[in-house]
Structure 1
Amino acid sequence: MTAITADAIAFRAARDHLLTHRGDPAKVGASFRWPRLTQFNWALDHFDRLAREDGDAPALWIVNEGAGEQKISYARMAARSNQVANWLRGLGVRRGDRMLLMLGNEVALWETMLAAFKLGAVVIPASALLTPADLRDRIERGHVRHVVAGEAHAPKFESVAGDYTRIVVGAAQPGWTAFDASRAGSDAFTPDGPTQATDPLLLYFTSGTTSKPKLVLHTHQSYPVGHLSTMFWIGLKPGDIHMNISSPGWAKHAWSCFFAPWNAGACIFMHNVARFAAPSLLETMARCQVNTLCAPPTVWRMLIQEDLAAWRGKLALREVIGAGEPLNPEIIEQVKTSWGLTLRDGYGQTETTAIIGNAPGLPVKPGSMGLPMPGYRIALLDAEGREADEGEVCLKLDDVPGEAPGGHPGTGRPLGLMAGYEDSPERTAEVMHGGYYRTGDVAQRDAQGYYTFVGRADDVFKASDYRISPFELESALIEHAAVVEVAVVPSPDPVRLAVPKAFIILTQGSAADRTMALDVLAFARQALAPYKRVRRIEFVTELPKTISGKIRRVELRQLEISRRERGTRDAGEYFEEDFPDLKS
């Protein structure tokens, strides 16, 4: 049996503190300390420990639409990841090697992730949406030595040159090694040496909305241990059945489909379907008694179009979470009315874990992201770099004066912050200077310390010299019964410099015509102060997005600038001056 190290004990103590002290993050944060780790391998020191303590407990439960389901225990997952680790070692995978994973929500994904962590290999998660050009960029800039991909994705690598091992999950492919061969490996694994807590673990290519993807490097402590804050925010408990609707390849998948639930000793639940359908999701959650659910606002917008109240006595849900983009107050209210549950928002980045959130039991203010999570100290910096009640969200990195490093709860660099941008020391220095990490997001803080998201620094704009938050206007418009999705950008105007324009996707069956335009503009006038008024709209069938689903407002801004320069109006565009009956 593997000896329990002092660092493993320190991690467990920090975890147990957050499990037993739920509620107000400010109070919990006053006593919480990040564990000070030297040598730590989360897969060996934590996951395998859970497998030894309660091996029969379910670790992973996958329900495949029309294709049965799989439920894997902690003990079985530990043994299989050992087999995969030994097999990968035989193929030449070594500590520090870069391994790109392009897999769906299938058991092999979790087996391979754990195996790579045990070996000390660095995992580069890749979305199924990536093109050969995207993969070429990742393999070149990520210095990839090994690729593990599903059979459906193997053809994408035909034109991607490089000296890398090719492993396929599923049907055999020419030139690829079959993952099934890993089942012949020994299920007893011995590491080749200790893992330093600061050793590299994950390398994420961000899906930036305005620039080429950056390479975000996380360590064996920054994501595994850092996601204790995410566990606390979600409200996970040992034995929970936790569902997070997310695709592999993105940081949020690691947040809530890997580290946070397994930190708690919960079961990760996945529902694989060819096409999302709210009734199917609700039926599956009811049958399998899922009790914690995290989903992006897009999913929640689809769910509230169903008769949620009819499911109130059938579901076992205790915690419901929104993530990815801020939640609109209307969604929160509808879920509360239907299920009696408070839909809670939170905030973080690929570069961090959950840093602000509405924790279980904390009174929620509609539209607010909540309070700082334990272990994080937040500052809002204005354009001059001074702390203010509105400004860029920043993490404090310096120790408290007079305290030894780490001597005061929450002081110093938070453990959940990335090591840096591997491809750009300059960019790392740009976001980490003066004792702060700068997120690039703008927020407001009220008298009670609650934070409200304003927008990306690049997305906030001025109209008639007033600062406008696209999200605030979008939150108002989304409450219109016919609006299913919306993006607001500045539209150049000779008098006001710019006026807010909304690109709108309507619900199925709604007519995108002049009558609807008048109704939406009138609705906006009632919901928004005059200086925030949406004065132009355009009905569209889709919005430009990154492959991780974030709206590319920069693309819409550029489109709007070019149109106004040309002085042209496209089909589906309506301006408030088109409607004389609207009062100014």
Structure 2
Amino acid sequence: MVHFLPRQRSRDEKGAGVFGEATASTPGETFLAARDYLLRHREDYEVARRGFSWPRFEEFNWALEWFDTIAERRPDGLALWIVEDGGGERKITFAEMTRRSNQVANWLRGLGVARGDRLILMLGNQVELWETILAAMKLGAVIIPATPLLGSADLRDRVDRGRARHVVTTSDDAAKFADVPGDYTRIAVGSTVEGWHSYGDSAGSDEDFTPDATTRADEPMLLYFTSGTTAKPKLVQHTHISYPVGHLSTMYWIGLEPGDVHLNISSPGWAKHAWSNVFAPWNAEATVFIYNYSRFDPAALLEQMQRCAITSFCAPPTVWRMLIQADLGSLSTPPVKVVGAGEPLNPEIIEQVRRAWGVTIRDGFGQTETSVLVANTPGQQVRPGSMGRALPGFEVALLDPATGEEADEGEICLALQPRPVGLMTGYADDTERTDEVTRGGHYHTGDVGSRDADGYITYVGRTDDVFKASDYRISPFELESVLLEHDAVAEAAVVPAPDELRLSVPKAYVVLAAGHEPDERTAESILRFARENLAPYKRVRRLEFYELPKTISGKIRRVELRGRESDLHGSGERARGEHRDDDFPGLRS
């Protein structure tokens, strides 16, 4: 049970009702009215876009005023279903999740976790992850999601710049914090770790929870570290409405409904995990389904999708490319809602899935800074190559970078009057960067698109040098910084090299320091060094010794290197002198 403090309805909540409905009296009811409007018009884009407006609050706590009300209405409804590839599974109802998150919140409060405190959450796809997310929201703590792939250097940065006061991680990963200084509470999930609090002790806490105060809607709730091109990762700040409420758009894009069983292939620590493994499905009162595998096996995934009757499926193009190489026909009851995000989808993939399953994969576009803002929605025509149209609640403009005027092709921007709910408040502790991306009355995504006469937008590319490999965002600056620590490297530039499986992989163009030879031994040494000092998803997989093209002011022309890689890929040739990790037995993976 949750005990609520008395609260005064805000002016917005006492207004003239939402979407033609009777006036809603609480934030939860207002949220429900907005949600139900999108559900009713889930296949009628024009009506949904014309009639929807964001619910706006002065006070709101999604975990308390939305999630826990689902538990009251549907106590036996399935909130989370986790299947392990080695056998075994867990099913958690909404009521059980409410009870456990209350216990965890009370226990964390006893350890000193308070409203506004920043908490690093570094867990895999395990029940404790979702329990802690809800518990932190109930307490008003600020979650810093972190992938378990991070090493000590990344964690030092997150503790330092993130000003983290608490850390929750697995017992196995606790050792990564041995070299991370700071006066932060250490909490380990799993076996006992000396000097760390045991998460299992939370099971003895009270199952009733009373918040210490009402939660302001504009209070920070999430801080995501996201890669940049010429600086350290940015801290993207979201509030108690920008992601929980903002992901009504993501729910609408996927087409989720109450009772759906939704499988999303994404790792904890990344924004897409919060999009489709927390907020979108639970906004819809759907089940979050997880298949935990040690190594991706398309046939095994399809088998579980069949056995567990998955109705909705989201995966990055890398996974879709692997799936179409398997026997899609082995799935006799395929999901009726299938979407892809992270990279543009190849038309061949869409067609093969359509032939096998009778459904069309629908693209969507968003960022860590936003919820889904452009997408192909249910019931609408999907145009080859297009990622769809602006979603309800978002006014999308394509602005010419040179003039700032609307154009048929330009930077994808969001109008800020009115400001869409599904947009970050800004970059924490960096007003200069926040002002830069919100200049001129628009939020600037840094991505370029083209739009046809019917409003369909096709993705063109990034305005900066960040790229994706296997659906992970890669910052050249971060990889180059590590490469430059090797004694043999004088200069380095990292660009994406086209790859049939991963779409692209990081390739380093290297200028050697004096005294080093451009041979296989040097290449292997540099690639091994990068492998040992970078998270696996950032691995440099190709290397070429090359004189870097530069501007007259001395800046590296990465655009020229990207063009060279594209030309090589188009010709089917491998650059002479290029070294790949697969060339060296000790580096193959």
Report the residue type matching 2:108 in the other structure: L
Aligned to 2:85: 65
* Contact map agreement 1:459 1:554 (CA 8 A) in 2: no
Pick the aligned partner of 2:435 from 429, 434, 437.
429
Aligned to 2:155: 135
* Contact map agreement 2:302 2:330 (CA 8 A) in 1: no
* Contact map agreement 1:210 1:552 (CA 8 A) in 2: no
Pick the aligned partner of 1:370 from 373, 388, 396.
388
Within 5 Å, which residues of 2 pair with 1:3-22? Answer: 6-22=26-42
* Contact map agreement 1:209 1:552 (CA 8 A) in 2: no
1:336 aligns with 2:342: no
Q: Which runs of 5+ in 2 are unaligned?
A: 5-23, 477-494, 503-526, 551-555, 575-589
Pick the aligned partner of 1:395 from 414, 417, 434.
414
1:161 aligns with 2:189: no
Deviations 1:293-317 (A, max 9, x none): 0001000000011121232x2x341
* Contact map agreement 2:151 2:535 (CA 8 A) in 1: no
Aligned to 2:484: none
* Contact map agreement 1:208 1:546 (CA 8 A) in 2: no
1:503 aligns with 2:497: yes
In structure 2, how many angstroms separate the alpha carbons of the residues matched to 1:551 and 1:191? Answer: 44
Aligned to 1:351: 369
Pick the aligned partner of 2:448 from 442, 456, 474.
442
In structure 2, how many angstroms separate the alpha carbons of the residues matched to 1:65 and 1:55? Answer: 28
* Contact map agreement 1:84 1:111 (CA 8 A) in 2: yes
Structure 1 residue 547 displacement after superposition: 5.9
* Contact map agreement 1:26 1:372 (CA 8 A) in 2: no
> Using a 3 Å threshold, how does the CA distance of structure 1 residues 316 and 502 change in structure 2: closer, same or farther?
closer
Which secondary structure does the structure 1 equivalent of 2:325 belong to? coil
Aligned to 1:179: 199
RMSD (CA atoms): 3.5
Structure 1 residue 246 displacement after superposition: 0.4
* Contact map agreement 1:210 1:554 (CA 8 A) in 2: no
> Using a 3 Å threshold, how does the CA distance of structure 1 residues 107 and 5 change in structure 2: closer, same or farther?
farther
Deviations 1:453-486 (A, max 9, x none): 00001259xxxxxxxxx99xx9xxxxxxxxxx9x
In structure 2, how many angstroms separate the alpha carbons of the residues matched to 1:300 and 1:559? Answer: 37
Report the residue type matching 2:445 in the other structure: T
Which secondary structure does the structure 2 equivalent of 1:368 belong to? coil
Aligned to 1:528: none
> Using a 3 Å threshold, how does the CA distance of structure 1 residues 430 and 16 change in structure 2: closer, same or farther?
same
* Contact map agreement 1:241 1:289 (CA 8 A) in 2: yes
Report the residue type matching 2:335 in the other structure: L
Which secondary structure does the structure 2 equivalent of 1:137 belong to? helix
Which secondary structure does the structure 2 equivalent of 1:503 belong to? strand
Aligned to 2:76: 56
Structure 1 residue 548 displacement after superposition: 9.6
Aligned to 2:459: 453
In structure 2, how many angstroms separate the alpha carbons of the residues matched to 1:166 and 1:367? Answer: 47
Aligned to 1:498: none
1:92 aligns with 2:103: no
Deviations 1:344-391 (A, max 9, x none): 100000000000000111100011010111100000000210001100
Report the residue type matching 1:105 in the other structure: N
* Contact map agreement 1:230 1:255 (CA 8 A) in 2: yes
Which secondary structure does the structure 1 equivalent of 2:351 belong to? helix
In structure 2, how many angstroms separate the alpha carbons of the residues matched to 1:551 and 1:167? Answer: 29
Pick the aligned partner of 1:28 from 42, 48, 53.
48
In structure 2, how many angstroms separate the alpha carbons of the residues matched to 1:459 and 1:12? Answer: 40
Report the residue type matching 1:272 in the other structure: N
> Using a 3 Å threshold, how does the CA distance of structure 1 residues 550 and 354 change in structure 2: closer, same or farther?
farther
Pick the aligned partner of 1:271 from 278, 291, 307.
291
Aligned to 1:417: 423
Deviations 1:217-256 (A, max 9, x none): 0000000000000000000000110010000000000000
Deviates more, 1:9-18 or 1:207-216: 207-216
In structure 1, how many angstroms separate the alpha carbons of the residues matched to 2:547 and 2:341? Answer: 28
* Contact map agreement 2:145 2:224 (CA 8 A) in 1: yes
1:323 aligns with 2:341: yes
In structure 2, how many angstroms separate the alpha carbons of the residues matched to 1:169 and 1:75? Answer: 22
Deviations 1:538-576 (A, max 9, x none): xxx99999969689999999987499999xx99x97896
Pick the aligned partner of 1:195 from 211, 215, 226.
215
Aligned to 1:385: 404
In structure 1, how many angstroms separate the alpha carbons of the residues matched to 2:345 and 2:311? Answer: 20
* Contact map agreement 1:128 1:153 (CA 8 A) in 2: yes
Pick the aligned partner of 2:65 from 45, 66, 80.
45
Report the residue type matching 1:354 in the other structure: V
* Contact map agreement 1:243 1:290 (CA 8 A) in 2: yes
Pick the aligned partner of 2:103 from 76, 83, 106.
83
Within 5 Å, which residues of 2 pair with 1:471-486? Answer: none
> Using a 3 Å threshold, how does the CA distance of structure 1 residues 576 and 283 change in structure 2: closer, same or farther?
closer
With the length of structure 2 as denominator, give the TM-score of the two structures: 0.78
Pick the aligned partner of 1:126 from 139, 142, 146.
146
Deviations 1:308-352 (A, max 9, x none): 1232x2x34110110111111111111111111100100000000
1:226 aligns with 2:246: yes
In structure 2, how many angstroms separate the alpha carbons of the residues matched to 1:63 and 1:559? Answer: 50
> Using a 3 Å threshold, how does the CA distance of structure 1 residues 459 and 148 change in structure 2: closer, same or farther?
closer
In structure 2, how many angstroms separate the alpha carbons of the residues matched to 1:116 and 1:245? Answer: 24
Within 5 Å, which residues of 2 pair with 1:464-543? Answer: 503-505=497-499
Task: Give the number of equivalent residue pairs.
Answer: 497
1:106 aligns with 2:112: no
Structure 1 residue 505 displacement after superposition: 3.7
With the length of structure 1 as denominator, give the TM-score of the two structures: 0.79
In structure 2, how many angstroms separate the alpha carbons of the residues matched to 1:156 and 1:47? Answer: 33
* Contact map agreement 2:218 2:239 (CA 8 A) in 1: yes
In structure 2, how many angstroms separate the alpha carbons of the residues matched to 1:187 and 1:84? Answer: 9
Structure 1 residue 577 displacement after superposition: 12
1:305 aligns with 2:311: no
Deviates more, 1:355-364 or 1:541-550: 541-550
1:360 aligns with 2:378: yes
* Contact map agreement 2:318 2:501 (CA 8 A) in 1: no
Aligned to 1:245: 265
In structure 1, how many angstroms separate the alpha carbons of the residues matched to 2:320 and 2:544? Answer: 24
Which secondary structure does the structure 1 equivalent of 2:241 belong to? coil
Deviations 1:133-183 (A, max 9, x none): 100000011110000001121010000000000000011111100000000
> Using a 3 Å threshold, how does the CA distance of structure 1 residues 172 and 368 change in structure 2: closer, same or farther?
same
Structure 1 residue 288 displacement after superposition: 0.4
State the percentage of identical aligned residues: 56
Report the residue type matching 2:166 in the other structure: H
Which secondary structure does the structure 2 equivalent of 1:354 belong to? coil
1:212 aligns with 2:218: no
Structure 1 residue 258 displacement after superposition: 0.2
* Contact map agreement 2:229 2:464 (CA 8 A) in 1: no
> Using a 3 Å threshold, how does the CA distance of structure 1 residues 143 and 354 change in structure 2: closer, same or farther?
same
In structure 2, how many angstroms separate the alpha carbons of the residues matched to 1:338 and 1:574? Answer: 30
> Using a 3 Å threshold, how does the CA distance of structure 1 residues 549 and 455 change in structure 2: closer, same or farther?
farther
> Using a 3 Å threshold, how does the CA distance of structure 1 residues 204 and 18 change in structure 2: closer, same or farther?
same
Which secondary structure does the structure 2 equivalent of 1:27 belong to? helix
> Using a 3 Å threshold, how does the CA distance of structure 1 residues 574 and 114 change in structure 2: closer, same or farther?
closer
* Contact map agreement 1:380 1:392 (CA 8 A) in 2: yes
In structure 1, how many angstroms separate the alpha carbons of the residues matched to 2:339 and 2:569? Answer: 36
Which secondary structure does the structure 1 equivalent of 2:318 belong to? helix
